[in-house]
């Protein structure tokens, strides 16, 4: 049976490699993937067409339906990364699976954080007249983004899987220490230098359909997140396995060479 | 509709990121899956 | 633990005393940065206004170079591996290296503050000087802890020169904000009352305490491989 994961166009014919061409999908992820596509289609429909314009914000409120979804997923992803990193470091639950979940989660977190900053800047341009404000929430988000870009760089440093796992887990937990400090210091800084923060003006009065669309966005992006982490974590596992096998093959070859030399 | 360009860009970027990510992870999974026997995949 | 820390710190400072890398290269570099700031900002009024920020920005640049130097010494001949294999307490190593780094940072900060007085014409009162010196203590401790922690992480891996600033700079942002605001209050030019600087010193102290404890806990698992 072929993978019919979302967004894929290729469906390789079951030939000689039928037993191996499964990819990383299961029945559950396939179902989840289809549901995700449906949810995103509905989000586009409700967000762009069916929901009304806001009384105060006008049409720009439509941006929030995707913005809130991505920011929710991004922050959730970083919480998951921190928790799985702690689970890896705790001896009794130590398993590379936790490390891979942390890595997969951080990847999607970084991507959605970038999307969040982008959509937020466009929304800010419409509502506040400026792409960027030095508000504590916005600045913390940017720092979170940079910090986890660094985290992904640490993951790519090489070494054994265990080295990678321990190093990156420690970095993820240090980020948990860093981010509240950044948030607090930026808040203190702005409260000294500026009048009230701009962010308060973004308050939206929601009618039923708008609230529904907002929740739909959150649900759609959350389903996407779960789907992605499941797949990506399996891909990372395969990558580790291929890596190990490459090492084993190289060792076997060296041994063969040595035997030939002896003869 | 005001600011339609900004709004559509936001939807395009968000949905596009999701699509691109999904497409890449499935593709990479298939590529690596061929190099690993099924016994090593706990989800099969 | 404290004895290890003292020995490690003394060793690092002795290495510095013999090689004079910080004195001959890092301090001139930081001074140069201050001169370059004066070139680009090109106005006495602006310079006095932003001098506090420039002092700490130059300090952070100097920190980066010092951290790289501090761990280049350790990885060059596998010295860090030797320490670990010998069973030396990693908390002691962390505290010792932080201490040596802090000592060098204090020299750097004093030089930079002095340069700001001379080059940028900033002025201060007696109470301001007290605040400035008090600011330096927790700020230096925080920078030294964070620098040692991430320096240890990046030690001995490929591409550490480019990775270290990416990891280090976001983390030191609170120090940069806090120390700059406190220094602003300590110097006269900005129109901020001296008393307004003290909450920032508290923030710096919290930062130093958190990363001191966090670093001592984490350092061991970062260098043991």
Give per-residue pLDDT as tens, C85-98. 887 888 998 999 99
Q: Residue C48 pLDDT more than 90?
A: no
Q: Does A182 sit within 8 Å of C174, measured CB to CB?
A: yes
Confidence (pLDDT) at A3: 42
Q: Residue C39 pLDDT more than 60?
A: yes
Confidence (pLDDT) at A244: 84
**SS3 letters across A105-147:** HHHHHHHHHHHHHHHHHHHHHHHCCCCCCCCHHHHHHHHHHHH
Question: Is A224 an interface residue toward B (CB < 8 Å)?
Answer: yes
Of C158, C174, C181, the CB nearest to A192: C181
Nearest to B10 by CA among A220, A207, A68: A68
**Which has more confidence, C28 or A188?**
C28
Model confidence, pTM: 0.85
- The ipTM of this complex is 0.88
Q: Does A177 sit within 8 Å of C210, measured CB to CB?
A: yes
**Average pLDDT value for residue range C198-212:** 91
Q: Does C171 sit within 8 Å of A178, measured CB to CB?
A: yes
CA distance readout (Å), C95 to A39, A196, C89, C105, C211: 53, 41, 10, 15, 12
Q: Does A185 sit within 8 Å of C171, measured CB to CB?
A: no
Q: Which residues of A110-135 are buried (b: 16+ CB within 10 A; e: fewer)?
A: bbbbbbbbbbbbbbbebbeeeeebeb
**SS3 category, A58:** strand
Confidence (pLDDT) at C225: 57
Tell me the shortest Cα–Cα distance from A142 to chain C, in angstroms: 10
CB-facing half-sphere around the CA of C173: CA atoms within 13 A:
26
**Average pLDDT value for residue range C176-204:** 84
Of B11, B27, B29, the CB nearest to A238: B29
**Which has more confidence, A88 or C196?**
A88
Mean pLDDT (chain C, rounded): 87
Chains touching chain C through at least 3 C-beta pairs below 8 angstroms are: A
Question: Is C195 an interface residue toward A (CB < 8 Å)?
Answer: no
Residues of chain B with pLDDT under 70: 1-2
Nearest to A42 by CA among A231, A215, A229, A227: A215
Cα distance between residue C14 and residue C8, in whole Å: 10
Give yes or no for a contact between A214 and A62, defined as CB atoms under 8 angstroms apart: no
C99-136 residue pLDDT tens: 999 999 999 999 999 998 888 888 888 888 889 999 99
Cα distance between residue C64 and residue C15, in whole Å: 18
A205-235 residue pLDDT tens: 567 888 888 889 999 999 999 999 999 999 9
Cα distance between residue C71 and residue C156, in whole Å: 8
Confidence of residue C3 (pLDDT cuts 50, 70, 90): confident
Confidence (pLDDT) at A19: 47
Confidence (pLDDT) at A206: 64
Residues of chain A with pLDDT under 50: 1-21, 194-202, 204
């Amino acid at each position: 049976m072929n993978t019919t994961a979302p967004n894929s166009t290729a469906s390789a014919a079951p030939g000689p490699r039928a037993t191996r061409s499964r990819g990383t999908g299961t029945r559950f992820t396939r179902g989840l993937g289809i549901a995700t596509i449906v949810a995103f289609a509905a989000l586009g429909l409700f967000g762009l067409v069916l929901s009304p314009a806001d009384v105060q914000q006008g049409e720009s409120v439509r941006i929030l339906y995707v913005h809130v979804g991505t920011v929710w997923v991004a922050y959730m992803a970083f919480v998951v990364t921190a928790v799985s990193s702690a689970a890896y470091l705790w001896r009794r639950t130590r398993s590379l699976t936790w490390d891979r979940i942390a890595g997969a989660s951080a990847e999607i977190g970084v991507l959605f954080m970038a999307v969040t900053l982008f959509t937020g800047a466009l929304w800010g341009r419409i509502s506040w007249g400026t792409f960027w404000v030095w508000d504590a929430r916005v600045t913390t988000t940017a720092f979170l983004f940079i910090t986890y870009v660094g985290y992904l760089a640490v993951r790519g440093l090489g070494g054994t899987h265990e080295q990678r796992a321990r190093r990156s887990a420690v970095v993820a937990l240090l980020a948990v220490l860093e981010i509240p400090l950044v948030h607090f210091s930026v808040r203190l800084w702005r409260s000294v230098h500026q009048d009230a923060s701009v962010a308060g003006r973004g308050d939206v009065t929601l009618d039923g359909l708008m609230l529904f669309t907002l929740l739909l966005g959150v649900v759609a992006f959350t389903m996407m997140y779960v789907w992605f982490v499941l797949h990506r974590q399996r891909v990372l596992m395969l990558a580790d396995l291929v890596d190990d096998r490459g090492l084993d093959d190289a060792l076997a070859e060296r041994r063969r060479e040595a035997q030939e030399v002896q003869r | 509709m005001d600011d339609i360009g900004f709004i559509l860009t936001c939807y395009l970027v968000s949905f596009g990121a999701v699509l691109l990510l999904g497409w890449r992870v499935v593709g990479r999974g298939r590529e690596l899956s061929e190099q690993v026997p099924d016994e090593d995949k706990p989800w099969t | 633990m404290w004895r290890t820390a003292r020995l490690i710190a003394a060793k690092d400072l002795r290495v510095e005393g013999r090689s004079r890398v910080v004195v001959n290269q890092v301090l001139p570099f930081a001074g140069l940065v201050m001169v370059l700031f004066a070139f680009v900002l090109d106005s006495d009024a602006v310079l006095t206004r932003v001098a506090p920020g420039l002092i700490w920005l130059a300090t952070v640049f100097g920190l980066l170079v010092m951290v790289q130097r501090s761990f280049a010494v350790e990885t060059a001949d596998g010295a860090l591996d030797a320490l670990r294999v010998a069973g030396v307490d990693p908390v002691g190593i962390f505290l010792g290296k932080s201490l040596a780094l802090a000592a060098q940072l204090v020299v750097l900060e004093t030089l930079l503050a002095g340069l700001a007085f001379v080059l940028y014409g900033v002025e201060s009162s007696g109470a301001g000087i007290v605040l400035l010196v008090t600011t330096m203590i927790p700020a230096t401790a925080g920078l030294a802890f964070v620098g040692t922690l991430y320096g240890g992480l990046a030690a001995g891996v490929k591409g550490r020169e480019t990775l270290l600033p990416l990891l280090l700079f976001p983390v030191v942002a609170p120090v940069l904000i806090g120390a700059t605001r406190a220094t602003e209050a300590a110097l006269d030019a900005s129109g901020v009352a001296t008393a307004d600087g003290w909450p920032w010193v508290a923030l710096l102290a919290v930062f130093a305490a958190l990363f001191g404890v966090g670093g001592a806990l984490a350092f061991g698992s970062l260098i043991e491989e």
